[in-house]
Amino acid sequence: MTLAATHSLIEQKLAEVSLSQRERLAFIDFNLQFFGNIARNDLIARFKTGLAASTRDFAAYRELAEHNLALDHSTKQYYRTQHFKPLFDFSADTILQSVSKGFSDGITSDVQPSEHCFEAVQLIHPEVEIIATLMRAIHNQQACIVKYVSITSGESQRRLVPHAIINNGHRWHVRGFDGKSKSFRDFVCTRFTAVDELGAPSEKHELANADKQFNTFVELVLVPHPSIKNPRAIEMDYAMRNGTKTMRVRAALAAYVLRQWQVDCSSDARISNQGCQLALSNTQVLEIIENPQLAPGFRTKN
């Protein structure tokens, strides 16, 4: 049977199952592709079904794609095989939104755009298989061998232990331990040309708990920019109290927030006529955050 014929037969069988079972089959498919494993208890917890029903769902999935998963009786987990071929087509936007918002409903279909509510700016999304491999590595705390294109040095190969995927307001980044620099760094997801799982366990100093900047929280105290004639408007925009807004963010992400919100981080709030409606009151926080040069108006001390 040709690949097209096989795909058509699978689509026909999926069309015959109920919508609720289709959601459960998609959940199995999603977990196998992006985490690499799933247990019956995961299905029960997600959909509040019984053990017998979850057993039937896995049997139905295996009937559709018997080579996609293998059961490890010692752990009672189903694992993704090297022959895995996804049953469902997940778009990059749906995946990243589902992951970042806690696996909300609607995994099996794209979010339908509103005719009356629009996003002026949309992020460029990386390839689905890149996201899937990174997510499995994060879930299983394992390393990857990646090929990455840097602005400064071009394409290179390195060992990466990822632990978080981040939307910085402009692009999707993955954060992890970089074997080349021996430090935790952020990588732009669209710049990977290849990501391959190593499968070997990582060292403790490479895991998320060892990422000091990621696990340290700082406070950003924001105020209306002094150049604003009517600061009350800005106070209303940002739900300020007594003219200030205090945000508690991870040190590793603070510079992204300041850049995205166009916060004037100069010591004397000197930026004018460049769209800065906010100023950073506690500029001393820049001394302890990662990548402060990303913050508008930041200057290193001589």
Q: How far apart are CA 132 and CA 35, in angstroms?
A: 8
Compute the average pLDDT of residues 142-160. 95
Task: State the Cα–Cα distance between residues 35 and 138, nearest whole angstrom.
Answer: 8
Averaged pLDDT for residues 152-167: 95
Of 5-14, 111-120, 256-265, the range with the highest mean pLDDT is: 256-265
Q: Is the pLDDT of residue 244 over 70?
A: yes
- pLDDT-based confidence at residue 23 (cuts at 50, 70, 90): very high
Is the pLDDT higher at 103 or at 32? 32
* 71-85, 98-112, 121-135: range with lowest mean pLDDT: 98-112
pLDDT at 92 > cutoff 90: no
Q: Find out whether 175 and 186 touch, Cβ atoms under 8 Å.
A: yes
Domain with CATH 2.30.30 in the chain: 128-211
Cα 235 → chain centroid:
30
Measure the CA–CA gap between 186 and 176, rounded to whole angstroms. 7
Q: Is 78 helix (H, G, I), strand (E, B) or coil?
A: strand
Band of residue 5 on the pLDDT scale cut at 50, 70, 90: low
Q: Where is 69: in which H helix or E strand?
A: strand 69-72
Residue 105 confidence (pLDDT): 45
Range with lowest mean pLDDT among 78-82, 169-173, 224-228: 169-173
* Number of C-beta neighbours around residue 169 at 10 A: 12
State the pLDDT at residue 125: 84
Can you give the pLDDT at residue 104? 45
- In this prediction, residue 229 carries a pLDDT of 92
Task: Find out whether 234 and 227 touch, Cβ atoms under 8 Å.
Answer: no
Averaged over 221-227, what is the pLDDT? 95
Domain 3-89 has CATH 3.40.50: no
Please state, in angstroms and rounded to a whole number, the distance separating the CA atoms of residues 13 and 108. Answer: 16
Query: Span 213-224, mean pLDDT?
Result: 97
Q: What is the mean pLDDT of residues 185-213?
A: 95
39 near 76, Cβ under 8 Å? yes
Is 219 a residue whose pLDDT tops 50? yes
Considering the chain, what is the average pLDDT of its residues? 89
Per-residue three-class SS string for 185-240: EEEEHHHEEEEEEEEEECCHHHCHHHCHHHHCEEEEEEEECCCCCCHHHHHHHCCC
* Predicted TM-score (pTM) of this structure: 0.82
Say whether pLDDT at 109 is over 60: no
Whole-number Å distance between alpha carbons of 166 and 137: 15
- In this structure, what DSSP letter does residue 181 have? T
The string of pLDDT tens digits covering residues 252-271 is 999 999 999 999 999 888 88
- The rounded percent of the chain whose pLDDT value lies above 90 is 73
Q: Angle between the 3-16 and 51-64 helix axes, to the nearest 10 degrees? A: 150
Fold topology of 128-211: SH3 type barrels. (2.30.30)
Predicted pLDDT at 119: 59
Average of per-residue pLDDT across 162-166: 95
- Asked whether residue 96 carries a pLDDT value surpassing 70, the answer given is yes
